[in-house]
Amino acid sequence: MKSDNKNIRHLSLPALQEYFGSIGEKPFRAKQVYEWLWLRHANSFEAMTNLSKELRQKLEEHFSLPAVKIDTVQQSTDGTIKSRFRLHDNHLVEGVLIPTDSRQTACVSSQVGCSLSCKFCATGYMERKRNLDYDEIYDEVALINQQALETSGKKLSNIVFMGMGEPLLNYKNVLQAIERITAPDGLAMSPKRITVSTAGVAKMIRQLGDDKVRFNLALSLHAANDKKRSEIMPINDSNNLTELIAALNYFYKATQNEISFEYILFKDFNDSKEDADELIKIYRQVPADLVNIIEYNPIDMARFQKPDAKTAEEFMEYLSKNRVNARLRRSRGKDIDAACGQLANKG
């Protein structure tokens, strides 16, 4: 296989049919290969056992199949599994399987590193090397799905794009990956069980509306006024809360899809009654289903700490009293740096 050969998974089914026709093969061969690539998740031409040896060799000469491989796996005491994936060019990204009694959730990455420099997130301190291709994102999900089947006998029930990178800055590949993940000849998952989380790229949130996507959207809010939000999330300087609220309403009007907010509690920064009031104000301006209040997971590079249990409880009670549908999300996989905000390719 020559490294400059075209990645076979970047060919559509009609393009594959055309290729097989050009080498004098029956059109049904294209369907067989397409099934191996997406439905059966073959990571080499050698694995395509219902093709002749000659045909497999020919594919090997003409195409590349740069499959993602698992580099290391760590298991948390709470059952969470973190995998470090090695890409064909030796870049590394991480993905996490979060099992509970009722669901098997994959948390996947969309970029190698991240360019947004959020002050509380380990990935934010890494340089963005490149975007993941759609087939690489698909591989992450397929590999985590295999782990779910091996460890629990259950398939993945949910996918969250909350790993490394900003999904909406890799827009085309994320949408193509979801198209393959939800396709009957892919992983056949319901788009309603997929949530894409964004730090807030207003223009691309509107684009999701225009493209009539069918998956859910989560906004990483983390502070409910512009001054504080800009302090911890530099992207807020160019995508302020007024713009984001307008974009979320546009998205909802176009798709009717579920919207949620993510809000990490930081001690003495965004955990007061005044902060809760500002959060309530934003919640009432958007048809959001839920506010996920997240426990902060300290990282070496950041100065933030998590508030004590009493403060978090009072914050939640205040939201509830004001009819905000909020849920306190306990972090999973903290002991292996697999929790929210901790992904940074540590072995």
**Average model confidence (pLDDT) across the chain:** 93
**Which amino acids are annotated as binding site for [4Fe-4S] cluster, given as ranges?**
114, 118, 121
Q: Tell me the backbone φ, ψ of residue 218, rounded to 5 degrees.
A: -120, 135
**Which amino acids are annotated as binding site for S-adenosyl-L-methionine, given as ranges?**
165-166, 197, 220-222, 297
State residue 281's pLDDT score: 98
Q: What is the 3-state secondary structure (H, E, C) of 183-240?
A: CCCCCCCCHHHEEEEECCCHHHHHHHHHCCCCCEEEEECCCCCHHHHHHHCHHHHCCC
Catalytic (active site) residue 94 = yes
Residue carrying structure tokens 């504080």: 228
State residue 346's pLDDT score: 52
Sign of the Cα pseudo-torsion (224, 227, 232, 238, in order): positive
> Comparing 344 with 254, which gets the higher pLDDT?
254
Asked whether the predicted pLDDT for residue 339 surpasses 60, the reply is no
State residue 70's pLDDT score: 97
State residue 2's pLDDT score: 47
User: In the structure, what pLDDT confidence band is assigned to residue 335 with cuts at 50, 70 and 90?
Assistant: low
Query: What distance in Å separates the CA atoms of residue 44 and residue 57, rounded to the nearest whole number?
Result: 11
Query: What SS3 class is residue 307?
Result: coil
Q: Which of 94, 136, 140, 262 is catalytic?
A: 94
Query: What distance in Å separates the CA atoms of residue 233 and residue 83, rounded to the nearest whole number?
Result: 27
- How confident is the model over 241-252, as a mean pLDDT? 98
Query: What distance in Å separates the CA atoms of residue 160 and residue 97, rounded to the nearest whole number?
Result: 10
**Which amino acids are annotated as binding site, given as ranges?**
114, 118, 121, 165-166, 197, 220-222, 297
- How confident is the model over 20-38, as a mean pLDDT? 95
- 69-94: pLDDT as tens digits: 999 999 988 889 999 999 999 999 99
Query: What SS3 class is residue 347?
Result: coil
| Residue 19 near residue 11, CB atoms below 8 Å | yes
Q: Which of 107, 136, 140, 340 is catalytic?
A: 340
Query: What SS3 class is residue 63?
Result: strand
Per-residue DSSP letter, 8:
G
- Side-chain-side CA neighbours of residue 5 (13 Å): 15
Query: What distance in Å separates the CA atoms of residue 110 and residue 315, rounded to the nearest whole number?
Result: 32
Asked whether the predicted pLDDT for residue 249 surpasses 80, the reply is yes
Sign of the Cα pseudo-torsion (120, 125, 131, 132, in order): negative
- 256-304: pLDDT as tens digits: 999 999 999 999 999 999 999 999 999 999 999 999 999 888 877 778 9
- 108-160: pLDDT as tens digits: 999 999 889 888 888 777 889 999 999 999 999 999 999 999 999 999 999 99
Instruction: Identify the structural domains of the chain with CATH numbers, from first to last.
Output: 6-64 (1.10.150.530), 69-336 (3.20.20.70)
State residue 347's pLDDT score: 46
Query: What SS3 class is residue 74?
Result: strand
State residue 334's pLDDT score: 61
State residue 53's pLDDT score: 96
Query: What distance in Å separates the CA atoms of residue 17 and residue 157, rounded to the nearest whole number?
Result: 33
- How confident is the model over 51-55, as a mean pLDDT? 95
Query: Does residue 79 come out as left (phi exceeding 0), alpha (psi in the -120 to 50 range) or beta?
Result: left
> Comparing 114 with 197, which gets the higher pLDDT?
197
| Residue 174 near residue 137, CB atoms below 8 Å | yes
State residue 331's pLDDT score: 65
- 294-331: pLDDT as tens digits: 988 887 777 899 999 999 999 999 999 999 999 998 76
- 201-241: pLDDT as tens digits: 999 999 999 999 999 999 999 999 999 999 999 999 999 99
pTM of the model: 0.93
Query: What SS3 class is residue 140?
Result: helix
| Lowest-confidence pick of 18-27, 28-37, 68-77, 336-345 | 336-345
- 30-47: pLDDT as tens digits: 999 999 999 999 999 999
